[in-house]
């Protein structure tokens, strides 16, 4: 026990109080890095919006899957996000003009003062760059096609998962022999139905 005791005392003697001043100061995020992160979030928002629109239209209408139609949907969502970025930039410009003539300490989170002008200018630049990048993407057919394909895969996974879960619930207490084969057959039937609907639409 004496040996272990000495070990514990030695470790305690080596410990030093935490010194926050010894830590490196965090470097401010660059505009390019902040823009990349913002566009990743925008991509996800667009993909989810298109996926939801696909599921709604394919389940509630007679329309077959049309990649060009949903590319238009994706472009609309991207432009709407660009408009939001423009509105954010305009708001920040107003806040910056107010902050430049306000001295003293802020009384709440959105009570901007002279000391906040640099951060507000950075936010203004980010909003402006985001709006410009989004408008470029709204006109980029390759980008829109990629979003549509990712959204289609997301929608198919969601719908097939619901179908499989429904089959599982309805088959509780039923002999599970051959269940994997039945699910495979169901998937093939759904795929065939989707192809048939596409063909019918093209013939119209």
Residue for token digits 């996800």? 44
Does the pLDDT at position 4 exceed 70? no
Among 17-21, 41-45, 65-69, the range with the most confident prediction by mean pLDDT is 41-45
pLDDT category, 166, cuts 50, 70, 90? low
How confident is the model at residue 53, as a pLDDT? 92
Specify whether the CB–CB gap between 78 and 148 falls below 8 A. no
Higher pLDDT, 70 or 109: 70
pLDDT category, 57, cuts 50, 70, 90? confident
Query: What are the structure tokens assigned to 144, written together?
Result: 């829109």
Q: If you average pLDDT over residues 32-51, what whole number do you get? A: 95
Name the burial class of residue 139, with classes exposed (0-12), middle (13-18) and buried (19+) by CB atoms within 10 angstroms of its CB: exposed
How confident is the model at residue 165, as a pLDDT? 65
pLDDT category, 19, cuts 50, 70, 90? low
How confident is the model at residue 43, as a pLDDT? 96
CA distances from 89 to 84, 96, 135, 147 (A): 9, 10, 15, 26
Please write the tens of the pLDDT for every residue from 59-81: 787 777 899 999 999 999 999 99
Torsion of CA 197, 200, 201, 204, to 10 degrees: -160
Domain boundaries of the chain, sorted by first residue: 29-168
Specify whether the CB–CB gap between 85 and 159 falls below 8 A. no
Specify whether the CB–CB gap between 54 and 152 falls below 8 A. yes
Q: If you average pLDDT over residues 8-18, what whole number do you get? A: 59
Does the pLDDT at position 161 exceed 90? no
pLDDT category, 140, cuts 50, 70, 90? very high
């Amino acid at each position: 026990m004496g040996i272990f005791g000495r070990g514990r005392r030695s470790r305690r003697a080596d410990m030093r109080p935490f010194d926050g001043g010894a830590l490196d100061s965090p470097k401010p995020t660059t505009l390019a890095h902040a823009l990349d992160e913002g566009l990743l979030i925008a991509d996800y928002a667009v993909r989810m919006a298109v996926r939801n629109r696909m599921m709604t239209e394919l389940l509630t209408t007679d329309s077959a899957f049309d990649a060009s139609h949903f590319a238009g949907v994706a472009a609309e969502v991207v432009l709407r996000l660009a408009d939001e970025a423009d509105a954010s930039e305009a708001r920040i410009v107003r806040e910056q003009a107010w902050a430049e003539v306000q001295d003293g300490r802020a009384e709440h989170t959105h009570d901007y003062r002279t000391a906040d002008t640099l951060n507000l200018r950075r936010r203004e630049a980010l909003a402006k760059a985001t709006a410009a990048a989004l408008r470029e993407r709204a006109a980029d057919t390759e980008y829109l096609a990629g979003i549509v394909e990712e959204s289609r895969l997301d929608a198919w996974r969601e719908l097939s998962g619901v179908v499989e879960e429904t089959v599982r619930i309805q088959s509780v207490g039923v002999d599970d022999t051959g269940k994997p084969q039945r699910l495979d057959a169901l998937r093939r039937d759904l795929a065939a139905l989707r192809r048939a609907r596409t063909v019918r639409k093209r013939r119209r």
